[in-house]
Amino acid sequence: MKAYSLDLRERVIAAIKAGEQSQAQIAVTFGVDLRTVEKWWQRWRETGSVAARAHGGGQPRVLARCERVIRAALKKQPDATLDELCTRVWVVKGLTVSRSMMCREVQRLNLPRKKR
């Protein structure tokens, strides 16, 4: 989900500071949730800014360090199944991964999957 624009956040804060409407009315006016308005107001009072915080980044990919193993396995045996690739990663790296995780990694690496 994308963060709300800084312009919108600043307009909401300006409306709160003007004091002409309640926070609930401001939320309806700008089309955001009341809790969002409350959070922005609290952040502005505490920090003086309503800018969006940096994204946390999410979980690192488990198979990121197995790229060479996967590429080598598919070069040696282009029609290897996902189960075979999972087994190869387990043998070489000691990582237990699911077929769906392996499928996403093969797609991310843009590797061809030639089936016989």
| Backbone φ and ψ of 59, nearest 5° | -80, 140
What's the domain count of the chain?
2
Q: What is the pLDDT along the chain (116 residues), one digit of tens a residue?
A: 688 999 999 999 999 999 999 999 999 999 999 999 999 999 999 999 999 888 888 888 889 899 999 999 999 988 889 999 999 999 999 999 999 999 999 999 988 766 66
Same domain for 69 and 32? Answer: no
Give me the pLDDT at residue 88, please.
Answer: 93
25 lies in a domain?
yes
Domain around 77: 62-108
Closest CA to 66 of 88, 98, 99: 88
Same domain for 43 and 12? Answer: yes
41 lies in a domain?
yes
115 lies in a domain?
no
19 lies in a domain?
yes
